[in-house]
Structure 1
Amino acid sequence: MVTLNDYLYSGDTVLRILQKYKKDLHEDAIAHHNEIDLVHCNFLLQIEELLEHNDFLTAQSQKLREFYNYMVGEYPYLSFTFKGRIKSLIRAEEKFNGYIVEFIYDYYTKNKCYPSISELKNRLNCFRDLIAYRIVISVPRCHLAHPEDRKTEEIDHIYKIANILPEFLEERGFTVEPTGGIGASSSPLLSDSVRPYYRDYIASATPNGYRSLHITFYDNSARCYMEVQLRTKEMDDIAEIGSANHLGYEKKQEYDRARRGAIPTGECLYFDEAYERGMKLQQLELKDLDVNMFAAADNSLINDGCGLYRGRQILPYEHLSRFQSD
């Protein structure tokens, strides 16, 4: 079985590692008539194209900058940042294999049989966040007559921005994607006209405290999807360094995927391969990797100059609130 781990010790660039892995995986899939590995190759091709062709990212981020400029004029008293990233190769690979493991396990648990290849392919046709942008806002306390109202004011602003964003970007060549009822919002602050497009984890926070609004667009020029997340600084802190930080999320995934090992080995090839690939990635010692522009002292102290583990940054815009001093 071909795994990404086999290519992470060669000293190559991330792009070269990705190309070698995709090529060998494709040859193996053809030799063994593995339809899911062919889908896997197409997924890797999407990442390769993102890393190779940056012109459309420049055009895309420029359109996001137009919304940034709109916010600068509309909300001069707010502090906010616009960030963007391409999902890292390691986390994209973890997510792809995790989807296979979770779908097959849930299907098996419910039906006592395994899904068809067409059903599994359909589940894997759901990646919308290889490109993701995040808008984080904060209302400085110096602008509040009553500082205790800060949280309420910030949430009110998040929904105001959310109500404007879909139409603003659709006028600039994007198509907003319905959620199909996933994460449906119950907030009265969200307009009914945009409600079908948002997954609302603010009105309904996750058990670990994660809160954010998520919306997906299709870029008609670049012909790819992108996700936009809206959150307050407090929500961002919880997601980055608080109870919902990614390390805790990964630990939960490790537990979930280990529990799914209850499916008998050898009964479902696609489950076995995805499970093994996922577990190998979870067990990586990052300090031992030899990837160009990447270094780690351990699994926490990481200098990721190539987006291998933390993702490649593509958009840093920052607006500090005006009128900080009377």
Structure 2
Amino acid sequence: MIKLNDYLYSGDTVLKILQRYSKDLKQSAIKTHNQIDLMHCNFLLQIMELLQHNEFLTSQSQRIRDFYKYMANEYPFLAFTFKGRIKSLIRAEAKFNGYIVEYIYEYYMKHGTYPTLPELKNYLSCFRDLIAYRIVISLPKCHLKENEILADEEIKYLYDVANQLPAFMEERGFTAELAYLGEQKKTPLLRESVSPYYRDYVINPETNGYRSLHITFYDNIARCYVEVQLRTKEMDDFAEIGPANHLGYEKRQERERAKRDAIPKGENIYFDDAYERGIALQKLELAKLDVNMFSAMDNSLINDGCGLFRGRLILPYEHLSRFQNDLVD
């Protein structure tokens, strides 16, 4: 079976790895008539296109920056950061295979049979976050009024920013996509007119405690999807350096093994291949990889200069709260 792991030890660039992996995977898919692997190749080509031909990001990031300037004017007491990235190759590969495993498992547990090929292909067409931007806000304690609770005030600001974002982006060539998060609870802080576009993990946190607001836009100028995440600093810390990032690893492993135990091996080639590729990625020892512009001491101490593991940074902006550096008598 063709898998990404086999291409990470030759000293090639990420682009070269993508080219070799997708070429070999396509040849194998044609030979075995595996339509999901062909779809997988097209997914890899999307990443390759972003890395090769990303001139459109100049226009896109400039329009995103307009909202940054708007926030600096409308919320003078807030500190906030804008970040953007192209999803890393390893994380994108893990997500593609994870979607296959998750969908087939859930379908099998519900129906006792497997999804049809058209159903699976339709599900895999839902990737919208190869390009993602994140807005992280913080209210400095020096601007907190008497009897105000910091976390509550920051959440009020977060939803207020979320209320402004869709219309602002629509005026600049973006179209908000309807979100689907099942029967999610709603908050009065999010306007009814914008609520259908948000996946609200703030009032509907994930089981590991992850909280954030997610919204997806179609960029009509660049002709691609982008995801925007909105978080408070506390939420971002939890996701990046807290339990949502680290402590759930063993539990994730247990859940993956449970899925493998539930699906009889050999009954569904798409599940088998995706599961094996996903487990192989989980077992990577990053310090042993030989990829140009990437180095790691271990799986935590990583210097990723190529978008292999952490993603390709495309938008760093930081705004300190107005008056934050002023001298006070």
The normalised TM-score by structure 2 is 0.96
Separation in structure 2 between the aligned mates of residue 310 and residue 248 of structure 1, nearest angstrom: 18
- Structure 1 runs not aligned, ≥5 long: none
Structure 1 residue 132 displacement after superposition: 0.7
**Aligned residue in 1 for 2:269:** 269
Separation in structure 2 between the aligned mates of residue 56 and residue 251 of structure 1, nearest angstrom: 40
Separation in structure 2 between the aligned mates of residue 95 and residue 248 of structure 1, nearest angstrom: 19
After superposition, give the CA deviation of every residue in 1:93-145 in whole Å (9 maximum; x if it has no partner).
00100111111111111222111100110110111111111000111111122
**Aligned residue in 2 for 1:25:** 25
Separation in structure 2 between the aligned mates of residue 309 and residue 73 of structure 1, nearest angstrom: 35
Separation in structure 2 between the aligned mates of residue 54 and residue 249 of structure 1, nearest angstrom: 34
Structure 1 residue 225 displacement after superposition: 0.7
Structure 1 residue 248 displacement after superposition: 3.6
The normalised TM-score by structure 1 is 0.96
User: For residue 290 of structure 1, what is the amino acid of its counterpart?
Assistant: D
Structure 1 residue 147 displacement after superposition: 6.6
**Aligned residue in 1 for 2:282:** 282
**Aligned residue in 2 for 1:12:** 12
**Aligned residue in 2 for 1:46:** 46
After superposition, give the CA deviation of every residue in 1:192-236 in whole Å (9 maximum; x if it has no partner).
100100011111222222111100000111111110011111111
The answer (yes or no) to whether the contact 2:97–2:277 under 8 Å persists in 1 is yes
Structure 1 residue 250 displacement after superposition: 4.5
- Counterparts of 1:92-131 in structure 2 under 5 Å? 92-131=92-131
Query: What value does the CA root-mean-square deviation take over the aligned residues?
Result: 1.3
Separation in structure 2 between the aligned mates of residue 19 and residue 73 of structure 1, nearest angstrom: 45
Separation in structure 2 between the aligned mates of residue 321 and residue 34 of structure 1, nearest angstrom: 54
The answer (yes or no) to whether the contact 1:78–1:140 under 8 Å persists in 2 is yes
- Counterparts of 1:236-247 in structure 2 under 5 Å? 236-245=236-245, 247=246
**Aligned residue in 2 for 1:214:** 214
User: For residue 224 of structure 1, what is the amino acid of its counterpart?
Assistant: C
User: For residue 243 of structure 1, what is the amino acid of its counterpart?
Assistant: P
The answer (yes or no) to whether the contact 1:72–1:319 under 8 Å persists in 2 is yes
Separation in structure 1 between the aligned mates of residue 73 and residue 22 of structure 2, nearest angstrom: 46
The answer to whether 1:255 aligns with 2:254 is yes
Indicate the SS of the match to 1:125. helix
Indicate the SS of the match to 2:126. coil
Separation in structure 2 between the aligned mates of residue 20 and residue 162 of structure 1, nearest angstrom: 41
Separation in structure 1 between the aligned mates of residue 198 and residue 140 of structure 2, nearest angstrom: 27
User: For residue 37 of structure 1, what is the amino acid of its counterpart?
Assistant: D
Structure 1 residue 49 displacement after superposition: 0.7
**Aligned residue in 1 for 2:155:** 155
Separation in structure 2 between the aligned mates of residue 319 and residue 185 of structure 1, nearest angstrom: 32
After superposition, give the CA deviation of every residue in 1:2-54 in whole Å (9 maximum; x if it has no partner).
11011001100001100110111111101110000011011101111111112
Separation in structure 1 between the aligned mates of residue 295 and residue 147 of structure 2, nearest angstrom: 43
The answer (yes or no) to whether the contact 2:177–2:197 under 8 Å persists in 1 is yes
Separation in structure 2 between the aligned mates of residue 56 and residue 252 of structure 1, nearest angstrom: 40
Structure 1 residue 181 displacement after superposition: 4.7
The answer (yes or no) to whether the contact 2:81–2:319 under 8 Å persists in 1 is yes
Indicate the SS of the match to 1:308. coil
User: For residue 223 of structure 2, what is the amino acid of its counterpart?
Assistant: R
Structure 1 residue 148 displacement after superposition: 4.5
Distance of aligned partners of 1:152 and 1:35 in 2 relative to their CA distance in 1, 3 Å threshold: same
Separation in structure 1 between the aligned mates of residue 249 and residue 179 of structure 2, nearest angstrom: 24
Separation in structure 2 between the aligned mates of residue 17 and residue 315 of structure 1, nearest angstrom: 25
Separation in structure 1 between the aligned mates of residue 266 and residue 11 of structure 2, nearest angstrom: 34
Structure 1 residue 182 displacement after superposition: 3.9
Separation in structure 1 between the aligned mates of residue 66 and residue 183 of structure 2, nearest angstrom: 28
Aligned residue pairs, count: 325
Percent of residue pairs bearing the same amino acid type: 67
User: For residue 206 of structure 1, what is the amino acid of its counterpart?
Assistant: E
Bigger shift: residues 140-149 or 315-324: 140-149
Separation in structure 1 between the aligned mates of residue 276 and residue 79 of structure 2, nearest angstrom: 44
User: For residue 45 of structure 2, what is the amino acid of its counterpart?
Assistant: L
The answer (yes or no) to whether the contact 2:184–2:204 under 8 Å persists in 1 is no
Separation in structure 1 between the aligned mates of residue 28 and residue 147 of structure 2, nearest angstrom: 61
**Aligned residue in 2 for 1:224:** 224
Structure 1 residue 255 displacement after superposition: 2.3
The answer (yes or no) to whether the contact 1:88–1:310 under 8 Å persists in 2 is yes
Bigger shift: residues 222-231 or 173-182: 173-182
Separation in structure 2 between the aligned mates of residue 298 and residue 94 of structure 1, nearest angstrom: 19
**Aligned residue in 2 for 1:194:** 194
Structure 1 residue 185 displacement after superposition: 4.8
Separation in structure 1 between the aligned mates of residue 183 and residue 318 of structure 2, nearest angstrom: 29
The answer (yes or no) to whether the contact 1:181–1:196 under 8 Å persists in 2 is no
